[in-house]
Structure 1
Amino acid sequence: MSSIIIVNYLLARDAGVKALVSNRIYPIQAPQAIDQAYIVTNKVSGRDHPLTSGGGQNYRDRVSIEAIAPTGDMAIAISQAAMKCLDDVINRTFTNYKDVNCLYAGVGISDPDNINNEARRVLEQYFVWWKFKD
Structure 2
Amino acid sequence: MKIFGLEITKAMTPVPTMRNVWRVISEPFSGAWQMNVDEKVGDLTTYPTLYACIYRISSDIGKLPFRLRQRDEAGIWSDVPSAAYDPVLRKPNGFQTAGQFREYWLLTKLIQAMPTSSSAATTAAS
What is the TM-score of this pair, normalised by structure 1?
0.25
More strand by share: 1
Q: Which has the higher helix share?
A: 2
Whichever of the two has the greater Rg, that structure is 2
Task: State the TM-score, normalizing by the size of structure 2.
Answer: 0.26
